[in-house]
Amino acid sequence: MSKSSYKKLYEKAFPSKRSGNLYNAFSYPTKISPEVIAVFIASHTEPGDIVVDTFGGSGTTGLAAHLCSAPTPEVLEIAKEMDAPVKWGPRKAVLYELSSLGAFIAKTMCTPPNPEQFLFEAINLLKRVESKFGWMYTLEDPNGKEGFLRHAIWSEMLKCNNCGHESSYWDSAICLNPLTMSDKFLCENCNYSANINEINRVTEEYFDQILEKKIVRKKRILTRVYGQTGKVKWVREPLESDNLKLVDIEENIIDSKFPIEEIKWGDLYRSGYHFGITHAHHFYTKRNYQMLSELMNEVNNAPKEMQSALRLLILSYNSSHSTLMTRVVVKKNQKDFVLTGAQSGVLYVSNIPVEKNILVGLKRKINTFYKAFQTIEKSTSSVEVINQSSTSMKEIGSNTVKYIFTDPPFGDYIPYSELNYLNELWLNQTTQTEKEIIINSSQKKGIAEYQYLMFKVFQEISRILQDDGKATVVFHSAKSEVWKALQNAYRSAGLNVVTSSVLDKLQGSFKQVSSNITVKGDPLLLLEQGENTLNIGTAMDEISIETIISKLLLEIRMRDEIFTPERLFSRFINFCLERNLEVPLDANRFYNILKSHLNSQESVQ
């Protein structure tokens, strides 16, 4: 691709939707749309070229290589809209991924099973498990008929700091008409008042049948039940029969193959909402833990060529929807809670956690995987996933790679190994964190360790790239020190920024780009081999930063781009990196200067 061609490709912000079957099959942090990556690959390479991703994540670059061979209408639409110089055809993709979970997802998604056979086996898997253990989700509806559980809300118990009276968080904080959630606690016994987060939680001693010993945990009670009978959905308060069902579940122990391993807590641990959670099974209700155990055990009875895809299906619903991290939220103008999954990027357990019906959820997900596998079924691209660190890519020869597309870890932004831990335990293969590139106090890795490991990766990128090869890097951080570490890493490896753009992660379809939607812009850098002197001595005081802000605001208006402070900060990062300037300030300081600048403009007008 000529210099003028790739300059044109990077001139305007690139839209990356967060929807579609390939994207939604498995939730993974900071994931990029494979349709967008396909356009970059097809624009920077020729059919048959080798493409590498040094931080493969859940395999979206591999999926993108498949889309280059078999472009969908959406991929063609994006290429046309961006006026991209694409050349469609098969590529050879090589993905490096340290995470055991990420590598498992990538291998399974990028070497898909026969879609029709997967659909048949997935449906039968759920039928077999439901026939044996579906009774755990059956319950009585408001009319006394048999229905099934859709989801249930549990509640922590509170203990008044003054008199010791016990009440549920639900009764203390939730009002249903109108729907509100209060942060104030008022004891019904002694009228003691305080912020509800300051109130003691009730604990209980519980015999853990898996650990075969007594433990102390937070006391939670079933407080609201959502079910369905036939096609009729309903909601009610708990009945005595619900509690009897829970007793039955306690007495029916499944011989689980789930490893009994103590959690190695890291930076995500919180002493409050993680109290009593010492082992992975403590993240589940007994009902859902047993259901997951049986599902994973039953996969072993499926055809061998289908087992990875079936495990992936189950794990796609595990951490995000099967645990106590599942939530309900209050939304404006809604008469009841809105059901959602686990909060992204943390291991948060709310005061009113939710227990979902796993079988119902998986039945819905089957079709997403089926359509995802269908999408790339006819691709002739090849994808190799290597489950190891890209600090050493000995499998790839020097000067052999035309193009690299990668999305490195953003400093201390996402602790992948900790977030992936629950899913990886079910795979019986956890990530070896020694080479995880992260800023993380529990791993004793600071900015220096992060920069060194990033340098080792960029050194390998420089080695394997052809003389005219390019690397597109998506990166975002709100901290200037992280940006400086990135700059030092790629520059020390003999790489420099040719040009840059912004990747907008959009909610919704590509056709919604011009509508009123939330936009988050991540700087997108194009690197090539070459030496430049970093202008460390060039200072940018607040006056010059305001001058740059004025220039960038004008460029955004000329491009007819959507303006957000986050987008402008990304453009500011681009401005610095293209000119070999150190990023001088954190995002918060930039936003303060921007706010002052905009206010001064308004006062002049």
> How do residues 549-577 score in pLDDT, each as one tens digit?
999 998 888 877 778 898 899 999 999 99
3-state SS class at 314:
helix
Whole-angstrom CA distances from 223 to 137, 151, 152, 236, 348 are 16, 11, 8, 9, 20
82 or 380, higher pLDDT: 380
Q: What confidence score (pLDDT) does residue 332 get?
A: 86
Pairing mode, if any, of strands 338-340 and 184-186? Answer: unpaired
Peptide bond into 178 cis (omega under 30): yes
User: Would you say the C-alpha torsion 103, 109, 114, 115 has a positive or negative sign?
Assistant: positive
How far is it, in rounded angstroms, from Cα 577 to Cα 10?
Answer: 14
Backbone dihedral region for residue 121 (phi beyond 0: left; psi -120 to 50: alpha; all else: beta): alpha
- Name the β-bridge partners of 501: 524
User: Cα-flanking dihedrals φ and ψ of residue 136, to 5°?
Assistant: -65, -25
Q: DSSP strand E in 318-400: where? A: 327-329, 338-340, 354-356, 382-386
Query: Which helix (H) or strand (E) element contains residue 126?
Result: helix 115-133
How far is it, in rounded angstroms, from Cα 435 to Cα 388?
Answer: 9
List, for residues 10-58, the tens digit of each pLDDT value: 887 887 777 789 989 998 888 899 999 999 999 999 999 999 999 999 9
Predicted confidence (pLDDT) at residue 436 exceeds the cutoff of 70: yes
Predicted confidence (pLDDT) at residue 511 exceeds the cutoff of 70: no
How far is it, in rounded angstroms, from Cα 292 to Cα 289?
Answer: 5
420 or 514, higher pLDDT: 420
- Place 473 in a pLDDT band, splitting at 50, 70 and 90: very high
Q: How far is CA 12 from the centre of its chain?
A: 26
Question: pTM for this structure?
Answer: 0.92
Identity at 288, one-letter amino acid code: N
Q: Which among 160, 480, 470, 122 is positioned nearest to 302, based on CA atoms?
A: 122
How far is it, in rounded angstroms, from Cα 48 to Cα 90?
Answer: 6
How far is it, in rounded angstroms, from Cα 14 to Cα 510?
Answer: 10
Token pair for residue 89?
């055809």
How far is it, in rounded angstroms, from Cα 121 to Cα 177?
Answer: 45
Considering only 114-128, 141-155, 535-549, which range has the smallest mean pLDDT?
535-549
Helix, strand, coil % (nearest 5) of the chain? 40, 20, 40
How far is it, in rounded angstroms, from Cα 457 to Cα 435?
Answer: 11
Q: Name the residue with tokens 């193959």.
A: 257
Q: Which among 499, 503, 524 is positioned nearest to 579, based on CA atoms?
A: 499
Predicted confidence (pLDDT) at residue 605 exceeds the cutoff of 60: no
Under DSSP, the state recorded for 54 is S
Predicted confidence (pLDDT) at residue 4 exceeds the cutoff of 60: no
Q: What confidence score (pLDDT) does residue 504 get?
A: 80
